[in-house]
Amino acid sequence: MARVNSAVQNETTSQSTSKEITILTSSLFNSKQKRFLKNISLTIDTSTGLITKLAQTPPSHQDDVASHPTTIDLRNLTVLPGLVDAHTHVFLHPYSEVSPLNQMRDESFVERIVRATNHVKAALMAGYTTYRDLGTEGLRDADVAFRDTINRGIIPGPRLLVATECIASSGGYESRLENSLPGIGATAPRLSDPADGVEGVRAAVRRRLGAGADIVKFYADYRKRVLRFPQPAWPGGKQICCAPPSEDMLNSQRNPNVVLFTQEEMNEMVVEAKREGAPIAAHAGDPVAVVMAAKAGVTTVEHGYVPSEEALVAMKENDTIFVPTLAVLRGFLGEERMLAVLGHARAAFERGIRIAAGGDTGAFAHGENVLELELMVKAGIPVLDVLQAATLRGWEACGGDLSGRRFGVLDVGCSADIIALAGDPTEDLSALRKVSFVMKDGVVYKRDGNGV
């Protein structure tokens, strides 16, 4: 097991006089080369949280320094860069517990913040040192201040890169209630920043970035016509009679995906985000929306779950990063449809499309993030490529250098985000659930399987 001298723990958490520590490894994943390196030692400056030196060190020399008070010995473990979940919602908990409408409408602001505090700790303990959080789902810009509590060391959690509210066209993404008469009907918090027209969407991007967003996200499409054939929403509610259209996640006739913006509007959002130095993500399920978003030049496409040759071509031609969010779909689709979605993710990989791992975590439990990696492997993507999707590609999905920090790879000048597994995931994928050591920015948060 990892041996962390108590003096090292004091130094990394309370920033005592010594600024350098050394980490010894026998098996370290290089996320650029997609291979494991042997007998690498890393030097970390705890005042900056950055890696300052990598060296291949003979085992005999590692033995000489292993007992030094500023050495952390991870040689019996498999060492990886801290994992990146590229699609999360810290203010959501599993839909199997409480429906999203009830979470957003009925749970108090305080409860949702307290839950989120538990969520980010669970994620960190599971080896996730970075979260790309794509929408507060009814809490406006609360993710900005929540991010800052982590950055200030008030609570433990992954590095957060946040989107605040997402952008949607009028009526595009909101809670839709049958009883919504002004003054007497039920109300729900707004879910998006509504904007229309080229000038309107440009202003919305400016609002998001002015509010503190790291990332801009817009809804290229969404199922906005639920009130045409509403499902019963309360005990005793009546079903619409006379055979309403079928409800299907991939091809719904009852509440179909509708493209929410014109090509010009999408183009303008991308131009404005890039002009201001921010990455931009597009929620897109339908192939038409995927193609439009890719052509606009978005950094990432989220979901893209409907198999489509045209969508794959557009993402490849425009070097779009694909975040397939397989884990969340698993909860909504039957086996046959899920296999089709997995096949589409594999086809994207085989086309050479960059894939980042993000499960839409929150709709299922924080701390169970590795489910996305397990499903990527089930889809037929090689384990080493899946590990790259959860590290280096995650950094790229966050905007690369636009994120303000280099992570997802263990190299000089990069964040000392380091995890260690009790096992080899290339031999047994369950090793990804056996996280024995977690360091973020040079601070140890977990050792020997226990949080500190």
CATH number at residue 77: 2.30.40.10
Q: Please tell me whether residues 95 and 203 are part of one structural domain.
A: yes
> 441 is in which domain, residue-wise?
3-81+410-451
The pLDDT assigned to 192 comes to 96
The pLDDT assigned to 137 comes to 96
Q: Please tell me whether residues 45 and 95 are part of one structural domain.
A: no
- Cα 433 from Cα 126, distance rounded (Å): 7
The pLDDT assigned to 161 comes to 98
* CATH number of the domain encompassing residue 322: 3.20.20.140
Residue with token string 């946040």? 162
The pLDDT assigned to 175 comes to 87
Q: Please tell me whether residues 339 and 380 are part of one structural domain.
A: yes
Q: Please tell me whether residues 211 and 294 are part of one structural domain.
A: yes
Half-sphere exposure of 235 (CA within 13 A, CB side): 0
φ and ψ at 259, to 5 degrees? -65, 130
Backbone conformation region of residue 138, classed left if phi is above 0, alpha if psi is from -120 to 50, else beta: left
The pLDDT assigned to 297 comes to 98
Contact 109, 139 (CB under 8 A): yes
Q: Please tell me whether residues 37 and 98 are part of one structural domain.
A: no
Classify residue 441: in a domain, yes or no: yes
- DSSP annotation of 247 reads P
Final residue in a domain of this structure, among 382, 402, 422: 402
Q: What is the mean pLDDT of each run of 10 residues along the chain (452 residues)?
A: 43 56 97 97 97 91 86 96 98 95 94 98 98 97 98 97 98 88 84 97 98 98 90 86 76 88 98 98 97 98 96 98 96 87 98 98 98 98 98 98 97 98 97 98 92 68
The pLDDT assigned to 17 comes to 54
φ and ψ at 419, to 5 degrees? -125, 160
Classify residue 117: in a domain, yes or no: no
* 138: three-class secondary structure by DSSP: coil
Work out the number of other CB atoms within 10 angstroms of the CB of residue 267: 17
Report residue 131 as tokens.
Answer: 């979260």
The pLDDT assigned to 61 comes to 82
Contact 62, 38 (CB under 8 A): no
The pLDDT assigned to 232 comes to 86
Classify residue 354: in a domain, yes or no: yes
Classify residue 153: in a domain, yes or no: no
The pTM of this model reads 0.93
Classify residue 115: in a domain, yes or no: no
The pLDDT assigned to 9 comes to 46
